[in-house]
Structure 1
Amino acid sequence: MINLSVLLEDSARKYPTKDAFVFMDTHVSFAQVNGAANQVANGLKAAGIQKGDRVALSCLNVPYFPMVYFGILKAGAIVVPMSVLLKREEIAYHLQDSGAKAYFCFEGTPELPMAREGYAGFEKTDACEQFYVITADPKAASSIEGTKTMGMLMANQSPVFENVVTSADDTAVIIYTSGTTGKPKGAELSHSNLVHNAILSVNILDLDPEDKQLIVLPLFHIFAMTVLMNAGLYRGSTSVLLPRFDAEQVLGLMEKHRISIFAGVPTMYWGLLNYENTKFDLKVIAESLKTCVSGGAALPVNVLENFEKKFNVPIYEGYGMSEGSPVVTFNQKAFGKKPGSVGTPVWGVEVKIVDADDNEVPVGEKGELVYRGHNVMKGYFNKPEANKKTLKNGWLHSGDVAIKDEDGFFFIVDRTKEMIIRKGLNVYPREIEEVMMQHDAVSMVAVIGVPNDEAGEEIKACVVLHKGHEIPEEDLKAWTKEHIAAYKYPRIIEYMDALPMSATGKILKKELR
């Protein structure tokens, strides 16, 4: 038997009074996080949540995230983390698809009214029975009439809990991933998948108990969840939380807390590199920084080299995906690094490059990256057809085009053909196209990614309007933004008379690029 919550419990025994998480002026010790998670688990048990039930969680990078996350796991239930930017229709889809019984949603901010959208999504689903608002002040009442709060669930519950027994292969987390077609699919990750990945992440980060890491990547995303939060808890390190990337705030926290570990997506490194203000002592920041890692998208080599020069710290780039818990390959201190490469396979994982018939291709030739090992998901939740395509002969087929060099280093040549990666977040065009097609004026739309210095890729919609209809670009952008998460709406719209098509009527997106 094994439960992912052992990562927290073990450190709560070893370092009870040590800071596990720091958020603004709030310091929360390992014992406090564990005690709060036990209260959540007791509350869920009292509310009828049983082993194997799915419980959804939408929360910013604040200490309530790990408290609820591990409370759900201790109760033997399965965590369904959701992006904090989702709108009500998307939330309803995730709750319905995962069959979630309960849903914890942070109240949000005036700019991001999460609880309002969350409750509206919850109201649209039949199966989800319980809704809890996570209020910034645990004693505060819910901002939504008639709903319970996390504080109410925890009230009068014991900070001691005997974990529900789970096995290594039981599902711990269902993480929704943007494929290239259709709606997001839930990758089922086991306790074993996630424990192994957290432990090997410790080596990648060169993480010690005295290290302080800055978590600005969203905790609902598998990268931050495994490589930072879970690895940090396992090692007994302190994590400083920041809900949103802002170069000035990041540098300020690095200086104040003497941050030694930082993980980001390429746009974050780009932002730090291009921050002009000299109010911070870069020398002090550079002296503390020990390890920087990058993932989520290809890191431009000039950004990598200039950042390393400016901060005198190496950036180790890696490759992963939700289906791989997430880490598959990484540039590692023990084996050296190559700029532009995503490194070598991590411990316990095999990687190869294959052709269309699944035969391994020679060194230096392009093919699809496939892998197998302890990190491979159990499968997509309730998606047998998708599983047949992705999991073949014991290997997970990534859909990513890559090459391997003579030293065994892997290079991602091309992300999945259609996928757009904007600021490290996966966006797939079909979902946006389906939303935009619902507008009365829109006849046809093709969404593509176009290169952009800041975002990596920007979202562009090529739109054909119905005859006799007109709508200003800004109005169509605003309408789309209302119906889809803010990171997904197109920043560029081009009106066209027709879209290029093949003889079979397929839109030729390569001609639009």
Structure 2
Amino acid sequence: MQLITEILAQNARNFPDAVSLVERAPETGTRSSITWSEFYEESRRLSRALRMRGYSRGEKVVHLMTNCLEWLPYYMGILESGSWAVPLNFRFLADKILRCTLLSEAKVLIFGPEFVDRVRAVKPGLDAVVELYVFAGPEDQRPRFAMPMADLLSEGDGERARALPPVPLEPDDEAALYFTSGTTGDPKGVLITHGNLAFACEVEHRHHLQQPEDIFLCIPPLYHTGAKMHWFGNFKVGAATVLLKGVSPQWILQAVYEEKASIVWLLVPWAHDILHAIESGELNLEDYDLSHWRLMHIGAQPVPPSLVKRWKKIFPHHQYDTNYGLTEATGPGCVHLGMENIHKVGAIGQPGWGWECRIVDRKMQEVPFGEPGELIVRGGGVMREYYGNPKETAKSLKNGWLCTGDIARQDKDGFYWLLDRKKDLVITGGENVYPVEVENYLIRHEKIQDVAIIGTPDDRLGELVTAVIQLKPGMEMTEEEVNSYCLGMPRYRRPRIVHFGEVPRNPTGKIEKPVLRKRYAGIYSSFRRD
């Protein structure tokens, strides 16, 4: 199995003048692109420059940038140097940037213009480990404490630098440190190897069968394993990828049309927004030639079956797929629906290529068939460890199996259905309520745009099922309507409390339930049923 650094070199040899990456910025009306040879050379320049300064095998380099044309070449350059890439969430505030950088012990911090104020605010703390600050942005925005990226790259152009032999990399070598999204607590550093990355590349290609003519439209943030590992499918065959900086339905359809994109990975809210824009008449499909779009897939969260059914009515020719994964499994694909299994929409699927799955109880014993339990997975994408955290590592890695923390069940056909995270389970009056089941029921209502189910404390029942409902634009809904609609559910599952408001999601589409618990815990006045 080829390492991804080897695949990049191969693409530069085989497709030197073919477009590798396109960046579209609709707000500014700009479009730029680079070829595979330009991608490779930019990566090599950074790799050589880091090595000339002594940053190679075992060193860590923080990568703090929003999606842009340079993001992936810099990432690959860090890997080629033998250093660990440490991509950080672009929404991290200054304190989390400090915390993650200190945990990783990174000596180099590469950052874009969006992060100047945040980095400056915690620089005294960062100075405990960071030796070199590199600014990847316009010179007139560069802080004095940071070196221009152009100057660093030029150090990789010298005769001595170009004479450096490649760093020999092996599958067992450490490659990257990814921080979890923190939806259930503080982010943890997930240590990924070069073998993990190579395996993820193979999994994505086996699942979606990318060909050199495919064009992948990438919208989610690249710091996240989901976006990058879906990019791997096109990367493996030397196919082009378009980075779209913006999520409005018009921008997405315009990009698919003008770039002739054939594969688009969406998050649930974006798919909802596209459907609403079409159904409301805001967008007219006749304005776009979308005939080349073959695959729409969704991940990062449970997908309501009603959403996919609505999508197929408007786009009947689309293949559909969903992948389940997590950072600790090197991104998506450990469970995979499969493009041929549209009849199983709602399930997360079957074990992905090269993966095994089980449903177990608290003692790691398999539960009776069809019963809910914790999903555990095993395969070539399982992380090495939570870096610097042996206690959490021991909780999650058991005899080669990764404990996902997600509750699932398996049906008679061998498909897995995700019920919810173990920590999101609501226990009310002794009954287990899986939020995803209630959310999937409510989201079918024609007025509801998004919904989140949480548990809020109650002295008598332990917890009350609480719904936070975000309505579609221009819609109004009463508490009585929610009450009446929920009569179709078993009584114990019906929300006792309803709040109308925004459902916050992080950049990868996951509902930020800790935010909702903090916002609504102890507040029962909006709507309560006895």
The answer to whether the 8 Å contact 1:324/1:376 transfers is yes
C-alpha distance 355-147 of structure 1, shift in aligned 2 (>3 A): same
- 2:350, 2:268 → 1: CA distance? 19
Q: Give 1:487 deviation, angstroms.
A: 7.6
C-alpha distance 378-309 of structure 1, shift in aligned 2 (>3 A): same
Q: Give 1:14 deviation, angstroms.
A: 0.9
After the TM superposition, which residues 181-330 of structure 1 pair with which residues of structure 2 at under 5 Å, given as runs?
182-228=185-231, 230-276=232-278, 277-281=282-286, 284-285=289-290, 287-312=291-316, 313-326=318-331, 327-330=333-336
**2:19 counterpart letter in structure 1:** D
**1:376 counterpart letter in structure 2:** V
**SS class of match (1:328):** strand
Residue by residue, what CA displacement relative to the aligned partner does 1:22-52 show, whole Å, maximum 9, x if unpaired? 1132110011011001111111112221211
C-alpha distance 449-165 of structure 1, shift in aligned 2 (>3 A): farther
1:52 lines up with 2:58 in the alignment: yes
Indicate the residue corresponding to 1:405 in structure 2.
411
- 2:125, 2:49 → 1: CA distance? 25
Residue by residue, what CA displacement relative to the aligned partner does 1:243-288 show, whole Å, maximum 9, x if unpaired? 3322221111011111100112211211111124235536621x11
Indicate the residue corresponding to 1:150 in structure 2.
149
Q: How many residues align?
A: 441
2:169 is matched with which residue: 166, 182, 193?
166
- 1:374, 1:205 → 2: CA distance? 18
Q: Give 1:416 deviation, angstroms.
A: 3.3
- 2:165, 2:68 → 1: CA distance? 25
**SS class of match (1:288):** coil
**2:390 counterpart letter in structure 1:** P
1:366 lines up with 2:366 in the alignment: no
**2:289 counterpart letter in structure 1:** V
**SS class of match (2:344):** coil
- 2:77, 2:466 → 1: CA distance? 39
Q: Give 1:189 deviation, angstroms.
A: 0.9
**1:151 counterpart letter in structure 2:** A
- 2:88, 2:343 → 1: CA distance? 33
1:87 lines up with 2:93 in the alignment: yes
**1:253 counterpart letter in structure 2:** A
1:116 lines up with 2:117 in the alignment: yes
**SS class of match (1:417):** helix
- 1:449, 1:386 → 2: CA distance? 30
The answer to whether the 8 Å contact 2:216/2:240 transfers is yes
Indicate the residue corresponding to 1:471 in structure 2.
none
C-alpha distance 349-172 of structure 1, shift in aligned 2 (>3 A): same
- 2:233, 2:122 → 1: CA distance? 32
**1:416 counterpart letter in structure 2:** K
- 2:366, 2:514 → 1: CA distance? 38
Q: Give 1:324 deviation, angstroms.
A: 0.4
C-alpha distance 20-350 of structure 1, shift in aligned 2 (>3 A): same
Q: Give 1:173 deviation, angstroms.
A: 1.1
- 1:493, 1:77 → 2: CA distance? 39
Q: Give 1:325 deviation, angstroms.
A: 0.7
- 1:99, 1:325 → 2: CA distance? 21
The answer to whether the 8 Å contact 2:133/2:145 transfers is no
**2:286 counterpart letter in structure 1:** D
- 1:28, 1:104 → 2: CA distance? 21
**1:29 counterpart letter in structure 2:** T
**SS class of match (1:68):** helix
1:175 lines up with 2:178 in the alignment: yes
**SS class of match (2:66):** coil
**SS class of match (1:38):** helix
Quote the sequence identity (%): 25
- 1:133, 1:44 → 2: CA distance? 14
C-alpha distance 488-365 of structure 1, shift in aligned 2 (>3 A): closer
- 2:95, 2:238 → 1: CA distance? 39
The answer to whether the 8 Å contact 1:76/1:163 transfers is no
Q: Give 1:101 deviation, angstroms.
A: 1.0
Q: Give 1:146 deviation, angstroms.
A: 3.3
- 2:273, 2:227 → 1: CA distance? 19
C-alpha distance 23-366 of structure 1, shift in aligned 2 (>3 A): same
- 1:401, 1:493 → 2: CA distance? 23
1:12 lines up with 2:12 in the alignment: yes
C-alpha distance 248-146 of structure 1, shift in aligned 2 (>3 A): same
**SS class of match (1:281):** helix
**2:9 counterpart letter in structure 1:** E
Q: Which runs of 5+ in 1 are unaligned?
A: 109-113, 430-445, 456-476, 478-485, 501-510
**SS class of match (2:253):** helix
C-alpha distance 491-345 of structure 1, shift in aligned 2 (>3 A): closer
1:357 lines up with 2:363 in the alignment: yes
- 2:50, 2:260 → 1: CA distance? 38
C-alpha distance 211-2 of structure 1, shift in aligned 2 (>3 A): closer
Residue by residue, what CA displacement relative to the aligned partner does 1:354-388 show, whole Å, maximum 9, x if unpaired? 11221112321100000111111101101111111
RMSD: 3.1
**SS class of match (1:172):** strand
Residue by residue, what CA displacement relative to the aligned partner does 1:105-162 show, whole Å, maximum 9, x if unpaired? 1113xxxxx2221343344221111111111x5xx35521232121111125339564
Q: Give 1:310 deviation, angstroms.
A: 1.0
Q: For structure 1, which segment, 55-64 or 149-158, has the greater mean C-alpha deviation from structure 2 after superposition?
A: 149-158
The answer to whether the 8 Å contact 1:258/1:288 transfers is yes
C-alpha distance 394-334 of structure 1, shift in aligned 2 (>3 A): same
